[in-house]
């Protein structure tokens, strides 16, 4: 009866591999369904979807001869049927068990991927399923009678399994020849490497086109000019499409968050409603891979530190169920996440005290509210005295902050005591192309990411006040900003001082400062080229690019560059003091 | 030397076979070039191509011999001046001056040399280890020498042109300035 006897071994192997890679989809679908079922138990479509996924999983696994998976899924399906036919109402407990089962199936599939002959023991979970079904068998006498007829009874297991087995055997074979039926749009699987290559080549093409574009002025009015113009336009479209090839929706990550919130709240006895907005927002694959961990950290923190226990919430006049909103959207060409909770908020006094105790700030330090809130990103800072396995090992927020900085993003927090907190994470949409400002100092050109620059103003030298203690200071609309000169920072000879220069008002994290350059050459799309390993250690530059004249230019990482200047200043002060 | 020629076009790259270990060199083909009056050679298989001296962009905070970055058909590569690296007095740039693009395990690098001479094929017995000269900072990347006609040819370990110490130098230019 086993298919291995019917098929050649290699064919069988292939069927199994196909099943294993497809199983993930079913499992994901089940998990998503279960989670939304818990939130809105009366939506009938959802339970059908979960049931279908479980049924397909059972059928396909039996069809390829992986009977342990099939048998276990059968048990799960039986429980789902109870729910589906309204004989068992959805409770936290039921969903909990079903999620556990789903995890177990996932585990089985993962194990099978490595070792096809693995055996499994799932008695414990089957007992749990039985226990859930038990009250129904005793109390719901009417249902009992109807049970065997509707096929829910799993006493006639043998018969049903063989039947299903046969059914799916054919279906699995059909699956191979007809391809995906579940996908509405036809899709092709392409390795990421090939896409990356394509994107790189197109990037190079874009650079060559800018070179061409700079030279085309000599040919104005000719057919050559209009051809190049058209080519540039098409190239831009091609570039957009190539970038979009790597774009994936955030859905899987957001789903993971829902699961995490569910697990933690159960553990802590809290009640949290997680609302997810923008799971269809598409982001670059490389960002998708990196953004998960920081989000997990923040969400965990929000549940663990933010949302209060139900009785405390009620005492404070809040509904017992806390709310966390996870939102993703595009804002001004950047990808933005908001994580908002209506929990206890950040107690500035507690943070301050703790920071003093830990020696992070001095007891005399004057800090603004937002500066105090930002202390939670300081390495080794954790306010919860109790170390839990959910968060609070003291390595939470600074890791988050570092991860985000590594993606050239920023993180910000706003919080009101007793009202809640909001984290805002801003990330570039892709790592390969940014908007940049090309600046010139002396004869050297550099690129500064547009995201770092708030505005640019023309200044005369006398407008900058010089102070021995503070260095140079520019007063702009009443705001006093420290001044850094690009030529000083880079030790570049400038042609003549004292003429009109440009001050770029830069904002990096929460610091605002002025960078003086000779002139702004232009603003353009910058295709980022990595620097060779031998100079990647230079943290002052995040990469390089090729400008319109074909020459490479460095992309400046301002926050690291001005740090270099600060160090020099400190030593100077120590020597003279 | 204005046009570009490609030595290893299409040939599979051999790795490690030709990187020297313990001063021992496998026999094979080498590219001989001049730095000032002196002759050097590197394994041909590490040479990707030879180009005319390109325009470079300065990179602040790098050692003097680091010329800058160049654009090689859309790829950004570092260029170093091997003459300065070897402390050999610099020659006027001529039409002979060229940049060798070398393929290292961890990076690609442009290396400025005074002239490209020839490709030489050498047997193992023609090699001798370099005489020990302690005061010469360049000896660490000389793996052996070979006498052809009356000239001495030094064999360079390309991997060591940018050796560990240099990489650190670039990475932490502010180490000595670390304060407080």
Give φ, ψ of A284 to 5 degrees: -60, 140
The CA distance from A338 to A281, in Å, is 13
Q: Collect all residues of chain A within an 8 Å Cβ-Cβ radius of residue B75.
A: 529
pLDDT confidence of residue A577: 40
Q: Best residue in B74, B79, B163 to probe A by mutation, most A CBs within 10 Å? A: B74
Cβ pair A534:B78 closer than 8 A: yes
Q: Are B100 and B31 in contact (CB under 8 A)?
A: yes
Per-residue pLDDT at B163: 56
Return the pLDDT at B5: 46
Within an 8 Å CB–CB cutoff, is residue A178 touching chain B?
no
pLDDT in tens, B43-93: 898 899 999 999 999 998 888 888 999 988 778 899 998 888 887 877 777
Cα(A2)–Cα(A69) distance, integer angstroms: 15
Integer Cα distance of B154 and B128 in angstroms: 10
Range name among A122-126, A334-338, B17-21, B116-120 with the lowest pLDDT average: B17-21
Contact residues on chain B for A554, CB-CB shorter than 8 A: 57, 59, 69
Residues of B in CB contact (< 8 Å) with A are: 55, 57-62, 66, 69-71, 73-78, 106-109, 162, 166-168, 170-172, 174, 177-180
Interface test with B, best of A535, A543, A569, A570 (most B CBs within 10 A): A535
Of A553, A557, A558, the C-alpha closest to A542 is: A557
Report pLDDT for A172: 43
Task: Give the pLDDT of residue B102.
Answer: 92
**Would you write out chain A's pLDDT as a tens digit for each of its 577 residues?**
444 444 556 677 777 877 887 788 888 888 888 888 887 777 778 888 888 888 888 888 877 878 888 888 888 888 888 888 888 888 888 888 888 888 888 888 888 888 877 788 888 888 888 888 776 555 444 444 443 444 444 444 444 444 444 444 444 444 443 443 444 567 787 887 888 788 878 877 877 787 788 788 888 888 888 888 888 888 888 888 887 888 888 988 898 888 888 888 888 888 899 999 998 888 888 788 888 888 988 898 888 888 888 998 999 888 989 999 999 998 766 789 999 999 888 888 888 888 888 878 888 878 888 888 888 887 767 655 444 444 444 456 777 887 887 777 888 888 888 889 999 998 877 667 777 899 998 888 999 988 888 889 888 777 788 777 777 888 888 888 888 888 888 887 766 655 678 899 988 766 789 998 988 988 887 888 878 777 877 878 888 988 878 889 999 988 888 877 654 444 444 444 4
Report the alpha-carbon distance of residue A117 to residue A6 in Å, rounded.
Answer: 19
Cβ-contact A502, A456 below 8 angstroms: yes
Are A125 and A101 within 8 A, CB to CB?
Answer: yes
- Strand B115-122 relative to strand B108-113, pairing: unpaired
Say if the Cβ atoms of A554 and B162 lie within 8 Å. no
CA distance B129 to A103: 63
- For residues A269-307, one letter each, b for 16 or more C-beta atoms within 10 angstroms of the residue's C-beta and e for the rest, the string is ebbbebebebbebbbbbebbebbbebbbbbbbbbbbbbb
The C-alpha atoms of residue B142 and residue B158 are separated, in whole angstroms, by: 9
A317: helix, strand or coil: coil
Cα three-residue angle A467-A469-A470, rounded to 5 degrees: 70
- The answer to whether A359 faces chain B, any CB pair under 8 Å, is no
Does B76 contact A532 at a Cβ distance shorter than 8 Å?
A: yes
What was the pLDDT predicted at A63? Answer: 77
Could you say which of A533, A541, A570 has the minimum Cβ distance to residue B179? Answer: A570
Residues of B in contact with A532 (CB under 8 A): 76-78, 107-109
CB contact A198 to B (< 8 Å): no
Separation in Å, CA of A553 to nearest CA in chain B = 7
Distance, in angstroms, between A546 CA and closest chain B CA? 7
Report which of A65, A56, A55 is spatially closest to residue A15, judged by C-alpha positions: A65
Whether the CB of A350 is below 8 Å from some CB of chain B: the reply is no
pLDDT tier at B112 (50, 70, 90 boundaries)? very high
Q: Which residue of A has its CA nearest to B159?
A: A534
Name every residue whose Cβ is closer than 8 Å to that of residue A233 and which is 6 or more positions away in sequence. Answer: none
pLDDT at B168: 47
Please list the residues that pair with A476 across neighbouring strands.
Answer: A479
The distance of Cα A502 from the centroid of its chain, to the nearest Å, equals 37
Cβ neighbors of A73 (< 8 A, separation 6 or more) are A54, A57, A58, A61, A105
Name the nearest CA neighbour of A503 among A534, A476, A542, A466: A476
State residue A260 phi and psi, 5-degree precision.
-65, -45
CA distance B165 to A200: 32
Tokens 């060199």 belong to residue? B25
Q: pLDDT at position A566, please?
A: 54
Q: What pLDDT is recorded for position A489?
A: 85
Start-to-end CA distance of chain A, whole Å, equals 90
- Catalogue the long-range contacts made by A154-159 (C-beta closer than 8 Å, 24 or more residues apart): A154/A74, A154/A75, A154/A78, A157/A74
How far is B58 from chain A, CA to nearest CA, in Å? 8
List pLDDT tens digits, range B139-179.
667 777 877 667 788 888 877 776 555 554 444 444 333 33
Is the CB of A534 less than 8 angstroms away from the CB of B174? Answer: no
Question: Quick one: A194 exposed, middle or buried, by C-beta within 10 A (0-12, 13-18, 19+)?
Answer: exposed
Dihedral sign, Cα of residue A123, residue A129, residue A131, residue A137? negative
What are the start-end ranges of the E strands in A486-533? 501-508, 511-517, 519-527
Q: Is A552 helix (H, G, I), strand (E, B) or coil?
A: strand
Q: Verify whether the Cβ–Cβ distance B78 to A570 is below 8 Å.
A: no
Say whether B57 and A490 touch across the interface (CB within 8 A): no
Q: What confidence score (pLDDT) does residue A282 get?
A: 86
ipTM computed for the complex: 0.75
């Amino acid at each position: 009866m086993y298919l291995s006897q019917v098929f050649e071994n290699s064919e069988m192997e292939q069927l199994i591999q196909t099943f294993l890679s497809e199983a993930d989809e079913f499992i994901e679908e089940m998990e998503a369904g279960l989670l939304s079922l818990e939130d809105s138990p009366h939506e009938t479509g959802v339970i059908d979807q979960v049931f279908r996924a479980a049924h397909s999983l059972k059928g396909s696994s039996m069809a390829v001869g992986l009977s342990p998976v099939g048998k276990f899924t059968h048990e799960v399906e039986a429980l789902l049927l109870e729910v589906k036919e309204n004989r068992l109402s959805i409770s936290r407990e039921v969903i909990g068990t079903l999620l556990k089962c789903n995890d177990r199936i996932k585990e089985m599939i993962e194990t099978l991927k490595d070792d096809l002959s693995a055996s499994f023991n799932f008695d414990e979970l089957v007992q749990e399923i039985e226990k859930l079904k038990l009250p129904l068998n005793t109390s719901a006498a009417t249902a009992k009678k109807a049970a065997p007829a509707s096929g829910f009874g799993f006493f006639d297991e043998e018969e049903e399994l063989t039947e299903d087995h046969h059914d799916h055997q054919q279906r699995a074979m059909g699956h191979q020849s007809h391809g995906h039926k579940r996908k509405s749009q036809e899709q092709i699987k392409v390795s990421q490497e090939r896409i990356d290559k394509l994107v790189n080549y197109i990037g190079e093409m874009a650079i060559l086109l800018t070179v061409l574009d700079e030279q085309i002025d000599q040919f104005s009015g000719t057919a050559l000019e209009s051809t190049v113009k058209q080519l540039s336009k098409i190239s831009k479209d091609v570039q957009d499409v190539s970038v979009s090839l790597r774009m994936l929706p955030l859905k899987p990550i957001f789903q993971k968050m829902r699961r995490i919130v569910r697990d933690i709240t159960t553990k802590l006895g809290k009640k949290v409603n997680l609302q997810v907005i923008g799971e269809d927002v598409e982001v670059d694959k490389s960002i998708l891979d990196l953004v998960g961990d920081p989000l997990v950290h923040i969400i965990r923190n929000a549940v663990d530190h933010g949302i209060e226990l139900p009785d405390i919430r009620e005492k404070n006049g809040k509904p017992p169920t806390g709310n966390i909103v996870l939102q993703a959207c595009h804002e001004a060409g950047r990808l933005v996440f908001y994580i908002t909770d209506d929990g206890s908020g950040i107690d500035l006094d507690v943070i301050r005290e703790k920071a003093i105790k830990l020696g992070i700030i001095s007891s005399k330090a004057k800090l603004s509210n937002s500066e105090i809130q930002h202390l939670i990103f300081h390495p080794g800072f954790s306010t919860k005295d109790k170390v839990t396995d959910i968060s609070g090992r003291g390595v939470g927020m600074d890791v988050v902050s570092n991860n985000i900085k590594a993606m050239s993003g920023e993180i910000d927090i706003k919080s009101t005591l007793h009202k809640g907190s909001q984290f805002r994470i801003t990330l570039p949409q892709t790592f390969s192309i940014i908007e940049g400002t090309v600046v010139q100092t002396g004869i050297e050109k550099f690129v500064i990411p547009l995201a770092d620059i708030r505005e640019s103003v023309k200044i005369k030298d006398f407008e900058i006040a010089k102070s021995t203690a503070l260095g140079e200071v520019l007063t702009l609309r009443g705001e006093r900003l420290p001044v850094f000169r690009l030529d000083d920072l880079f030790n570049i000879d400038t042609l003549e001082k004292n003429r009109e220069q440009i001050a770029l008002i830069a904002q990096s994290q929460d610091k605002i400062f002025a960078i003086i350059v000779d002139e702004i050459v232009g603003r353009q799309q910058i295709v980022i080229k990595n620097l060779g390993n031998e100079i990647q250690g230079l943290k002052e530059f995040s990469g390089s690019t090729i400008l319109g004249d074909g020459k490479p230019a460095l992309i400046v990482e301002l926050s690291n560059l001005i740090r270099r200047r600060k160090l020099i200043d400190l030593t100077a002060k120590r020597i003279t003091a | 030397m204005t046009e570009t020629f490609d030595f290893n076009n299409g040939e599979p790259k051999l790795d490690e076979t030709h990187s020297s270990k313990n001063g021992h060199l496998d026999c094979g083909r080498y590219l001989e070039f001049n730095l000032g009056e002196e002759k050097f050679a590197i394994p041909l298989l590490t040479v990707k191509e030879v180009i005319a001296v390109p325009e470079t962009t300065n990179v602040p905070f790098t050692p003097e011999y680091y010329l800058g970055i160049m654009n090689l058909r859309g790829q950004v590569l570092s260029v170093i001046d091997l003459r300065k690296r070897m402390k050999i007095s610099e020659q006027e740039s001529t039409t002979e001056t060229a940049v060798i693009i070398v393929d290292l395990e961890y990076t690609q690098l442009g290396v400025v040399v005074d002239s490209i001479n020839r490709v030489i094929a050498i047997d193992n017995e023609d090699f001798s280890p370099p005489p020990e000269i302690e005061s010469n900072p360049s000896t660490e990347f000389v793996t052996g020498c070979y006498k052809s006609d009356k000239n001495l040819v030094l064999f360079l370990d390309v991997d060591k042109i940018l050796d560990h110490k240099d990489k650190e130098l670039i990475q932490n230019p502010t180490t000595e300035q670390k304060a407080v």
